[in-house]
């Protein structure tokens, strides 16, 4: 493949050729894995590149420099290098279904278009039978995960959530329940007058297998006061995640970007996640979430750009050296950008989803779900190898009549 010159004065800083430069055939297009050498005209990136190549940890100043540089291709090169060192071409996805049992929420976060006050137009709460019917609907293929999140309902008793999980487990014993953000867990513990540990233990006993990464937003108090004033604060989110990990529940972690946060807030967020992961090892995946302003009280803010979306993925991969996976959630950034992100550090695209509500209430224009074949096609067309996984990243094998998880 002929290397095309890029605009600007390159050749000032030029680095060793990557050994993985052979052409690979992926069936749809021919791609070169990191075929071109690292190059940049931003001198701040040279020492970062040296650390990345040596497998050394990046510090706060490095992370800020990655955010500040305009050389997105150099940042992407490094993130892609780390991604390929960890996963080669493997790209994970799952066959999952989202269930949002209620949108009634006491929190009234400015970032959110999904939550409704009780008894206001559009507010809903599923009866348990309705939630079980929803779980079974929408897609003929066997799902391996239910992703369950909802509002902070002021009246629903803790028992509703325990019955929801045990009822789902009874009806769909093979399906993993990835349920309730740290924010929901903290709210349920308050309502049930239980400690966080007791709440998590009861949820686990009722069938919860792991926790999604939502509600983390940005940990910095200054930002939290603007976007989600009534939620638990950053340290409570981290403490709840820590207890979940201690009792054997894996979780994910998110970061909501593209609103009123600055580079330092993002770096602070990433370093706090990395520090907790050093302690517990309980995080599986980091998911940067692009803020969707439509229909929120922050709708005057502009939407995120493609550059920012790719930057978040790449910086996440480079700073979170102890996170096994970086997810590019296609619903958030569109399937086209998610596909590109597979060359900017992401190794996971999330899943079929079937029925997404939270971002669609906030103006997302993506489809609400995607078929497994389409996810595989997108991944192959990026020159990557699609691997269907379960929630714990074990490979899933499908035949006409069965779905098997390698344990």
Q: Which residues of the shown chain bind ligand V47 in the complex (CB under 6 A)?
A: 111-114, 149, 181, 212-215, 217, 252, 254, 256, 287, 289, 291-292, 296, 329, 350, 358-359, 362
Give me the residue label for tokens 């239980």.
194
Least gap, CB of 48 to ligand V47 (angstroms): 28
Nearer to ligand V47, 63 or 289 (CB): 289
Give me the residue label for tokens 């480079």.
318
Element (H, E) at 136: helix 128-136
Angle at 229 (CA atoms; ends 224, 232), nearest 5 degrees: 80
Nearer to ligand V47, 45 or 358 (CB): 358
For residue 377, with 0-12 CB atoms within 10 Å meaning exposed, 13-18 middle and 19 or more buried, which class applies?
Answer: middle
Nearer to ligand V47, 245 or 292 (CB): 292
Is residue 376 classed as helix, strand or coil in its secondary structure?
Answer: helix
- Listed in order, strand segments (DSSP E) in 202-278 are 210-211, 250-257
End-to-end CA, the chain: 40
Least gap, CB of 363 to ligand V47 (angstroms): 8
Taking CB positions, which residue lies at the least distance from ligand V47? 214
Spatial separation of the C-alpha atoms in residues 7 and 360, rounded to whole Å: 38
Nearer to ligand V47, 241 or 256 (CB): 256
Nearer to ligand V47, 38 or 219 (CB): 219
Least gap, CB of 381 to ligand V47 (angstroms): 22
Looking at residue 296, what DSSP letter applies? S
Spatial separation of the C-alpha atoms in residues 131 and 149, rounded to whole Å: 12
Least gap, CB of 70 to ligand V47 (angstroms): 25
Least gap, CB of 152 to ligand V47 (angstroms): 12
Is residue 349 within 8 Å of residue 375, measured between CB atoms? yes
Least gap, CB of 316 to ligand V47 (angstroms): 14
Spatial separation of the C-alpha atoms in residues 22 and 9, rounded to whole Å: 27
Nearer to ligand V47, 69 or 335 (CB): 335
Nearer to ligand V47, 250 or 274 (CB): 250
Least gap, CB of 362 to ligand V47 (angstroms): 3
């Amino acid at each position: 493949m002929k290397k095309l010159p890029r605009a600007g004065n390159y050749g000032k800083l030029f680095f060793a050729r990557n050994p993985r430069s052979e052409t690979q055939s992926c069936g749809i297009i021919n791609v070169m894995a990191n075929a071109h050498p690292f190059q940049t005209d931003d001198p701040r990136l040279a020492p970062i590149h040296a650390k990345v190549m040596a497998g050394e940890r990046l510090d706060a100043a490095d992370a800020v420099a990655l955010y500040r540089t305009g050389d997105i291709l150099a940042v992407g090169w490094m993130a892609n290098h780390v991604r390929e060192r960890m996963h080669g071409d493997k790209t994970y996805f799952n066959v999952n279904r989202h269930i949002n049992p209620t949108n009634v929420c006491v929190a009234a976060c400015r970032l959110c278009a999904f939550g409704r006050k009780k008894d206001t137009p559009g507010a809903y709460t599923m009866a348990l039978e309705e939630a079980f019917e929803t779980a079974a609907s929408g897609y003929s293929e066997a799902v391996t995960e239910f992703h369950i999140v909802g509002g902070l309902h002021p009246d629903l008793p803790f028992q509703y959530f325990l019955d929801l999980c045990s009822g789902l487990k009874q009806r769909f014993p093979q399906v993993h329940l990835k349920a309730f953000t740290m924010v929901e867990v903290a709210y349920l513990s308050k309502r049930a007058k239980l400690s966080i540990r007791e709440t998590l233990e009861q949820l686990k006993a009722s069938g919860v297998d792991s926790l999604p990464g939502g509600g983390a937003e940005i940990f910095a108090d200054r930002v939290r006061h603007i976007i989600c004033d009534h939620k638990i604060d950053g340290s409570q989110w981290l403490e709840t995640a820590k207890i979940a990990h201690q009792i054997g529940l894996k979780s994910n972690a998110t970061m909501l970007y593209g609103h009123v946060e600055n580079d330092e807030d993002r770096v602070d967020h990433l370093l706090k996640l990395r520090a907790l992961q050093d302690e517990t090892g309980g995080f599986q995946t980091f998911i940067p979430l692009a803020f969707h302003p439509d229909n929120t009280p922050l709708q005057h803010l502009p939407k995120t750009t493609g550059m920012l979306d790719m930057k978040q993925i790449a910086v996440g991969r480079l700073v979170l050296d102890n996170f096994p996976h970086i997810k590019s959630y296609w619903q958030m950034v569109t399937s086209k950008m998610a596909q590109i992100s597979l060359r900017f550090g992401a190794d996971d695209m999330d899943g079929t989803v079937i029925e997404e509500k939270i971002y669609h209430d906030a103006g997302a224009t993506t489809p609400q779900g995607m078929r497994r074949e389409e996810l595989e096609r997108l991944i192959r067309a990026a020159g990557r190898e699609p691997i269907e996984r379960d929630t714990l990243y074990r490979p899933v094998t499908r035949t006409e009549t069965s779905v098997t998880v390698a344990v």
